[in-house]
Amino acid sequence: MGFTPLEYAEIKADILRDLQSQLPDAAVTTDSDFGVRAGGTAAAVEGLYEHQAWIARQVFVSTADTEALELHAAEHGVARKRATTATGAALFAGTPGAAVPVGTEGKTVAGLAYVTSAAGEIGADGTATVPVQASASGTSSNLAAGAVLTLTSAPSGVQGVAQLSTATTGGTIAETDDELRARVLDVMQSPPAGGTKADWRRWALEVDGVSAAYVFPLRRGLGTVDVCVTSADGAPSAEILAAVRTHLDEVRPAGASDFQVLAPRLVPLAVTAKVSLSGLTLAQAQTPVEEALSAYFATLEPGDAAYLSRIETAISGVSGVVDRQVVAPAATITAGDIEWPRLGVVTLEVL
């Protein structure tokens, strides 16, 4: 039977009742001496009850606060994953032969800074592609190719504006309490078993920057293991893939040497729908429809199909959408084992 702690008013009433049972003529009004003392004692006792409840929550991983959660995690060999920075490449232009030194900084219009992580030299065609890394960690530094970078201080012979030639990927925030809690519970509920599918997934998730991992045993034949990892709801950077390979090589069973670490093949899926609306315009419906579709696509894993019926249901569920007709895709999109359907451009038209 569960125990329900008493609240302040109940504790105070109990104290005053006990006093009156001993001293029937005692004054127990709020401003009486006994009333004031009972109030102070009741507040202290209520605080003790709350502290006991807090202690009980720290005993269990599922309810522990940050400090106690990290102690539980440490006891099971699990460490909180750190934030990671996005990486990619940028295209610089200038005079052939001009140097692009390591540490050359460029900023986007939004103020996101990227620096070159290797030296480059402007080629005969007047351009150079140089690897860059975000100055700060986090998902905001994951940008699409084509973003413009204004150089803080352009090197001699190099133009003051560069452009991302590839998307920057791999930027993540530090692991949240809920994410850490899920990994600790996973270890407790599915203890390491010498190289099972669950073990490979858990090992991959231990690497900074890995948000999800999917394991495909025997994908390339007997004795093979392929691990597909994602980062911040997108593709991981080359650095994260290399870190996962290194970590798996350290923790894998001695005989399980034939493994691969893969990035999912992103499959952007454009959605075009005709809608009949009530109480809102086509422009007003755009954002809620995109949010509803994004929520559905967020449930998909690499290899999952993007079901037309679920796309239709997501659009129909938006308040104000009376009727809909999905023009594209025309049917369910079936993905390969590491193909990952992602929401592309959403276009709404009047039905």
- Residues 165-186: pLDDT tens digits? 999 999 999 999 999 999 999 9
Give phi and psi for 115, each to the nearest 5.
-125, 150
| DSSP code string of 89-148 | EEEEEBSTT-EE-TT-EEE-TT--EEEESS-EE--TTSEEEEEEEESS-SGGG---TT-E
Fold of 191-262: GMP Synthetase; Chain A, domain 3 (3.30.300)
Rounded CA-CA distance 177/43 in Å is: 31
- Residues 258-271: pLDDT tens digits? 999 999 999 999 99
- Residues 98-108: pLDDT tens digits? 999 999 999 99
- Residues 79-105: pLDDT tens digits? 999 999 999 999 999 999 999 999 999
Q: How confident is the model at residue 1 (pLDDT cuts 50, 70, 90)?
A: low
What Å distances lie between residue 90 and 117, 120, 144, 165, 271, CA to CA? 11, 11, 11, 5, 31
Strand order in the sheet with 259-262: 212-217, 225-230, 259-262
What Å distances lie between residue 333 and 114, 124, 307, 309, CA to CA? 37, 45, 6, 11
In a 3-state reduction of DSSP, which class is residue 54? helix
- Residues 265-293: pLDDT tens digits? 999 999 999 999 999 999 999 999 999 99
In the chain, the N- to C-terminal Cα span, in Å, equals 59
Instruction: Using the structure block, give the residue that is written with the tokens 């060999």.
Output: 77
In this prediction the pTM is 0.80
Residue ranges covered by each domain of the chain: 8-59, 87-164, 191-262, 266-350
